[in-house]
Amino acid sequence: MATLKDVAERAGVTVTTVSRMLNNRVQISPKTRDKINRAIKELDYQPNELARSLSKKSSQMIGLIIATANNYFFCKVINSIERYTAMYGYKLLLCISNHETEKEVEYFSMLKAHKVAGVILASHTQNLEKYLNFTAPIIAFDRTLSPHIPSVCSDNFNGGVLAANHLLEKHCKRPAYFRDTQKTGMHASFRYDGFAETFRGHGIEPIIYSAPPECFISMRYEDSIRAFFRDHPEIDSVFTSNDIIAMQILRYCAQNGISVPGQLKVIGYDDTDLSSFCYPALTTISQPVDDNCRFAVESIVNFKEKSIPISTVFPVRLIQREST
């Protein structure tokens, strides 16, 4: 493979000049610019990014630590983050922790060793000591890790409020919130707060049901949905913490002759593609995934010039479809 030196020789200039041009550190006359470009073409030269990053002490890579990719919502996140990462000329180092804290810590130090430009944390690690002696920016996605680590998220509380108001408009009296077991620090727990407070304002106390933690990993809620309906046959509406649960509730209803939205209104969360593919199509809370992702990436990219606000919240909105 051709090196800087080869290019310089071929173009009849110094490596310094070539390097300066490649990093546009100074003006280069059109003439030399041409010569150099020609040499680069002819030699099919590509700067060795490793050497480059080593010199600069920082790579153009962004690390994303995420719990899983086996989930429509997180896929959207990965997709979106990759897009912005590439847009800014950065590369994405994807780390899937599979919900294991230990792995997350490992990944973290790996990213450190690779001198990444920044880390986006979309998993639920709580062991923070290791992170703090890290010069690159860290940004937490949809969760609060510590008072010192900036986070970006959507307005979970309002998501709950919107869902509750929508159900109230539809005259629901016996609402339930079906969620995953919450890990500490996850902003998703605010959804319930918004949901419950709104209903309480109308003298209604919603039922809350937490699926066992393993469901969040397997994404299979069949058993807990059955248990849920056994325990709460009286409900007339259910708000779920993601579309996958909602979809499985729709399946349960279809199997058991519960008409949706007639007998039961269902609201999902996330507005993944799923929600419009199932029948009835899901009313759901749309998260501003793209805004969140762009913000996270831009925070890292512009870290040197702009400091990152400790908390950034983007608005959500309710998308009405057929299930309410």
**Choice from 37, 51, 311, 315 touching DNA (CB under 7 A):** 51
Q: Binding to its own copies (CB under 8 A): which residues in 21-60? A: 44, 46-51, 53-54, 59
Q: Decide whether 30 or 147 has the Cβ nearer to DNA.
A: 30
Q: Is position 3 an interface residue for DNA (rule: CB under 7 A)?
A: yes
Window 271-290: contact mask with its own copies (x via CB under 8 A): --xx-xxxx-x---------
The H-or-E segment that residue 94 falls in is strand 91-96
CB of 82 to its own copies, least distance (A): 5
Q: Which strands sit side by side in the sheet containing 317-319, from one edge to the other? A: 207-211, 175-180, 237-240, 265-270, 283-286, 317-319
Q: Tell me which of DNA, its own copies, none is bound by residue 248, counting a contact when its beta carbon lies within the kind-specific cut-off of 5 to 8 angstroms.
A: its own copies
Q: Within 10 Å of residue 133's Cβ, how many Cβ atoms?
A: 7
Q: Is position 69 an interface residue for its own copies (rule: CB under 8 A)?
A: yes
- Alpha-carbon distance of 7 to 3, in angstroms, equals 7
CB of 53 to DNA, least distance (A): 8
Q: Tell me which of DNA, its own copies, none is bound by residue 315, counting a contact when its beta carbon lies within the kind-specific cut-off of 5 to 8 angstroms.
A: none
The H-or-E segment that residue 190 falls in is helix 189-200
Q: Burial level of 184, CB count in 10 A (0-12/13-18/19+)?
A: exposed
Backbone angle region of 101, left / alpha / beta, with phi > 0 → left and psi within -120 to 50 → alpha: alpha
Residue 130: which residues within 8 A CB-CB, separation 6 or more?
105, 108, 109
Q: Decide whether 171 or 304 has the Cβ nearer to DNA.
A: 304
- Binding-site ranges for its own copies (CB under 8 A): 44, 46-51, 53-54, 59, 61, 68-72, 74-76, 78-79, 82-83, 86, 91-96, 98, 103, 109-110, 112-115, 133, 219-220, 244, 247-248, 250-251, 254-255, 273-274, 276-279, 281
